[in-house]
A and B are shown apart, each in its own frame.
Chain A
Amino acid sequence: MSSLFPLIEGSARMWKTLTYFVALPGVGVSTLNVFLKHHGEEERPEFITYPHLRIRSKPFPWGDGNHTLFHNPHVNSLPIGHEDE
């Protein structure tokens, strides 16, 4: 079976309209929403050595074995505390 012909002639035009007038503006609005909300988010939560977090059963096979792959010193602490304090 070959691929179906569009059931409505000119339906590509509808999808083009939807793309430019609904889908992409939706992305734009969401981007703006993130951009506006992002100002003023500097504080980080207090560090407590919970045993159920920052688990190290085995060292990671990279670096010093103690940092996760997407480690961010500003927001991620190590098992003993934040690095940059």
Chain B
Amino acid sequence: MTHQTHSYHMVNPSPWPLTGALSAFLMTSGLIMWFHFNSLILLALSLLTNTLTMYQWWRDIVRESTFQGHHTPTVQKGLRYGMILFILSEALFFMGFFWAFYHSSLAPTPELGGSWPPTGIHPLNPLEVPLLNTSVLLASGVSITWAHHSLMEGNRKHTLQALLITIMLGLYFTLLQVSEYYEASFTISDGIYGSTFFVATGFHGLHVIIGSTFLIVCFMRQLTFHFTSNHHFGFEAAAWYWHFVDVVWLFLYISIYWWGS
């Protein structure tokens, strides 16, 4: 028997899980070295090895699927489960920070002046840049849906155009948030308000950057004809992740920016 008689993908041995784990260990040790011993070398090495691992691992997946045809419908179903579970884990990650925010803001302590926002904190006006950011992410949700439908209908030009608009909107959001971070009169060191604000929005911003990167990869793959009109799970995974990022922002906007102001 020289061929498999099942529809699963028995992946060839790969070094990337090990290099990924090692880079994660380096990253944690690197942070300790930076925080406590003023040394950046381990951290820098960890960022390099982590990036190389991600690049090569995902490159191999593209090779196995697009070029070698290992992604049968069965395999794709498994990937769908995987992506959904991953996004679920991320949702739980954010729920922790929302828990922290509501814990502190629903019953503000006397040390804060017994109020939320705490005495001396001047929150950002939710009807200015935060509202713009909301419109930007909602718009990007519309444009990515246009991209998906164009892809399914086999319209290459429109898929590229819509994906590009989505990516530009993502970049616009990131630039606006960085500007907001500089312009805010409060900082991360301003007690529990600063901590909850910047940790929650900061992790969200990181996810926007990750999502934008994922979309850029999809853009390049679409340019090089990787996707077909009925098999493009990489694109779908990116779209799911992007919608998730949008939904987290909506919760942030309503809780921290609007209710919390």
Contact = CB atoms under 8 A, between A and B. Distances in A.
A23 B77 CA distance: 32
**Chief secondary structure at chain B's binding surface:** helix
Contacts of A11: 149, 153
A50 B119 contact: yes
Interface string B130-165: 011011101110110110011011010010001001
Contact of A27 (B35, B119, B135, B178): B135
B139 to A, nearest CB: 4
A12 B132 contact: no
B106 interface: no
Contacts of B182: 70, 72
Contact of A75 (B134, B140, B143, B183): B183
B100 to A, nearest CB: 16
Interface of B: 34-35, 38, 73, 76-77, 80, 111-113, 118-122, 125, 127-129, 131-132, 134-136, 138-140, 142-143, 145-146, 149-150, 152-153, 155, 158, 162, 165, 169, 172, 178, 181-191, 194, 230-233, 236
A45 B120 CA distance: 9
A19 B254 CA distance: 24
A37 to B, nearest CB: 6
B149 A15 contact: yes
A19 B139 contact: yes
Nearest to B150: A12
A78 to B, nearest CB: 10
Contacts of B178: 70
Contacts of B150: 12, 15-16
Nearest to B35: A61
Given A15-B149, A16-B150, A27-B136, 13 more contacts: A9-B153, A16-B146, A19-B143, A19-B165, A27-B172, A44-B185, A45-B120, A52-B118, A52-B119, A55-B189, A61-B34, A75-B184, A76-B185
Interface string A38-74: 1000001100101111111000010000001111100
5 contacts: A3-B232, A11-B153, A44-B185, A52-B119, A52-B191
B149 A55 contact: no
A17 B208 CA distance: 25
A3 B185 contact: no
Contacts of A27: 132, 135-136, 139, 169, 172
Given A52-B111, A52-B118, A23 B153 contact: no
